[in-house]
Every structure is written in structure tokens, then in C-alpha cells.
Structure 1
Amino acid sequence: MLSFTNISRCQTRILERPARGFIRNLHRGDIPVSWKRPQIGWTKLNFDGSCKGAAGEASIGGLFRNHKAEFLLGYAESIGTTTSTVAELAALRRGLELVLENGWSNVWLEGDSKSSVDIILKRQRVRSKEAQRQVSRINLIMPELENCVLTHVFREGNRAADKLASIGHQMQKPKIWRHIPPDDILWILQEDAKGSDLIVTLTYDH
């Protein structure tokens, strides 16, 4: 039987670091964003969903890297017509299924849709039955992991997953890359490994 305390413990750890970062940057217009490596012994999943329009043809993508920023596995697939929220959740759900298949137990999950991340972290209700199905699957898998962290990152720190999600639109069937990434994301992986910063401009209402 799944333990609710395991889910809560995972979510409490998730909320700590992003909250401090937000407070630190609250009054800054420009902030540097870069992809961050996981700790030794951890695997990091960056995931993303892509949807053409509010509800249109959708696809998902994601990739796993280790503490050396080495590419371990990537995935992309078209998932038919749905909403952007379902696409984001489906990308996370598929990534978590691959986590189990590959036996990774210490996993950092990161996506660029804050609303979708908040659905999991804050246990927000979703109206769509398909979104509910994705959330249920995610909540079943996360407690099975020894350690997990889920965070939001700006799109500039999630470019490789964003590109894979875009590639997913072209797929006739699901695709998985093991150890050797597609050529389209090689330059992004190289920049991420260097820790290259991109500047994000935030606009605040006063």
C-alpha cells in the first residue's frame, strides 16, 4: 500500500529551495537562468509538453542526465489532440515510468510549466478526466522512489526537453534514445554542461 507520508515528505523537500530563490529574486528585473546538474548519485529528468493551440495536436519529450551532465536517455512522442496541461503532465508521467524501468531511485524532476508542477506539489484539483488520470499515475509512482525532488525552471533552463517535445510532433511512434542524443539537441547539451546562463526578464506589477 502506498504511504501518503512518503508523498508529503517528497513534496516538502521540493518546496524549500524554489521558495528561497523566489524571495531572493523578488525585486530583480533580470535573472540568470541555467541548467543545473544533479548531485552525485542522482539522475535528473527534464520534461516538457508541447501543444499547438489551447487544445490541439500535442507531444511530449524529456531527457535524463547525471551529475557529469552526461546524456543517459531521451524520449519523445506524439500524444494526439489534448490540452497543454495534459501534455505537461503526460511528459512527467512518461519520464517517471522510464525512471522505474531503468532502476533510478534518486531523481530530480524539473519542468518549465509552473501550473503543472503546482498541480503535483500543491495537490491542486484538475477538471479534465485525462489530466486526473495522469496525476493519479504520477502520484502512484513518486512514492516508489527512494528520493525525489520536483522543481520548476524557466524555459531557458529546460531547452533540451523543449526541443525533444517539439521533435515529438514529427514522430509516428514513440522514440527513445539511449546514451546517444539526437543531433538536434547536441548544442544545447554542450551549453548546459558548461553552465551557460541565459537572462530572463521578469516584469512585476507595482
Structure 2
Amino acid sequence: MEEVRRRGPSKRDRIKSHLDSERCLKLNIAVPRRKIKRVRVTFWLPPMDSWWKLNCDGSSLGNQGNAGVGGLIRDNKCQIVSIYNSFLGIASNFQAEFQALIEGIERAREMNCASLWIECDLGTMVLMVQRGLVPWFVWQRWSSLISYLRGIRWKITKANPVADFLAQMAAKKEASSSVVAWPPGVLEFLAEDAMGRSRF
């Protein structure tokens, strides 16, 4: 105990409870401060009347590993209009995120969507798209969407649990599919989204 008091706590010494903290204070041993985790409340909002909402996500297992994309488009009544998940092969998270976005916008264009709200979870991608900075590996597909995007109302924001499930499923199964059997946890997310419930 004297050694710990003399040298102070090391990385090996862990304070596991409030009781450990109290003992350290009684023995005049400096207690390392814990980083406080901030709780972020998120919830899905339905799009406005006549808008559709695209939630898209990419996933890479190992970040240069098996990668997949997934997404869904819902209308203002929370009804699913389109759903997709695709296996990409070997790719990074960044590549998968952009591929998911492109595939979702292509689907919206095929269905003649006139107002599209895009939600994804990679803040960097949101900023890049807002500034018109699209990476080379999707540039050809993106350039084919420019006239469509100029002709509709659209916005892009950050969020996404259901699309995350679709992308991970494609990466894990190494397969693409258009019909998805929802596990109970995802069905709960969809129901909570429709009711506007928050998520931590």
C-alpha cells in the first residue's frame, strides 16, 4: 500500500467502484478522474408531406474488409417505399458509406422522388456532399445523379440505426438482397421511429 501511495496510481491500477475511490481518498492517493460519457439522444423524424426519407449506411468488417451497404426509403406516413442491402466485396468504411448513399439516391431517382431527405451516420460524408466534394471512387455514379439532384428538393443530415443493420447484414453474409426478414430488434426500431420515440 505504501508503494502505491508513493508512486501514485498507474495504468494497471483500476478504480472499480465508489468504495475504491473513498479508500484512495482516505489514504491520500490521487484518484484519476474518469471521462464522463455524454449521452446522445436520437430519434427518427418522418419527412414532411410529399417528401421521402432515405436512411443509408455502409459497413466494413475490419475497415478494409468485407463491406456492405444498406438503406431504406420511407414516406411521410412511415411506410417503407424501398429497401436495399448490397455486398461490395473488400472496401473501407468510407467507401461503403458513399456507395450506400449513391445506391439510395439512384433508387429514389428510379421511383421519381421529387423531394428527398437523406440521413446517414458519417458526419464527414455529410460535410463533403454539402460542399460538393465527392471522392473519385463514386464520381462517375455521382455525376450521373447531378441533374436529378438539381431538379429536386433534397437535404442531407446525420443519424441511422436501421440502415446500419442492413449494411452489416450484407457485409456479414457476403451477399446482396432486396427482401429482408426483420429481426425483432429492428422491428422495434421501425415502430419507435414511426411513433417518434427517442433513442440513446
**2:149 pairs with 1:148:** no
Whole-angstrom CA distance in 1 between matches of 2:120 and 2:144 = 17
Whole-angstrom CA distance in 2 between matches of 1:140 and 1:82 = 28
Decide which of 44, 66, 72 is 1:57's aligned counterpart: 66
**2:144 pairs with 1:116:** no
Decide which of 165, 175, 194 is 1:163's aligned counterpart: 165
Runs (4+) off by over 6 Å: none
Whole-angstrom CA distance in 2 between matches of 1:173 and 1:58 = 10
String of CA shifts for 1:86-127, please: whole Å, max 9, x gaps: 11110010001101111111110110001111111123364x
Aligned partner letter, 1:167:
M
Give the equivalent residue in structure 2 for 1:98. 107
Whole-angstrom CA distance in 2 between matches of 1:168 and 1:90 = 13
Whole-angstrom CA distance in 2 between matches of 1:166 and 1:176 = 14
Following TM superposition, by how much is the alpha carbon of 1:195 offset from its aligned partner in structure 2, in angstroms? 1.4
Whole-angstrom CA distance in 1 between matches of 2:74 and 2:113 = 11
Give the equivalent residue in structure 1 for 2:181. 182
Deviates more, 1:166-175 or 1:84-93: 166-175
Whole-angstrom CA distance in 1 between matches of 2:120 and 2:134 = 19
The equivalences for 1:58-73 within 5 A come to 58-73=67-82
Aligned partner letter, 1:142:
L
Q: Secondary structure at the match of 1:78?
A: strand
Aligned pair count? 161
For the aligned residue pairs, the C-alpha RMSD in angstroms reads: 2.1
Aligned partner letter, 2:87:
S
Does the CA contact (< 8 Å) of 1:34 and 1:196 recur in 2? yes
Whole-angstrom CA distance in 1 between matches of 2:157 and 2:45 = 11
TM-score (normalised: structure 1):
0.70
Provide closer, same or farther for how the CA distance between residues 172 and 39 of structure 1 changes in structure 2, counting only shifts above 3 A. Answer: same
- Structure 2 unaligned regions, length at least 5: 1-37
Does the CA contact (< 8 Å) of 2:52 and 2:117 recur in 1? yes
Does the CA contact (< 8 Å) of 1:47 and 1:110 recur in 2? yes
Does the CA contact (< 8 Å) of 1:32 and 1:198 recur in 2? yes
Higher relative contact order (CA 8 A, sep 6+): 1
Whole-angstrom CA distance in 1 between matches of 2:62 and 2:174 = 20
Q: Secondary structure at the match of 2:50?
A: coil
- Structure 1 unaligned regions, length at least 5: 1-28, 200-206
Structure with higher Rg: it is 2
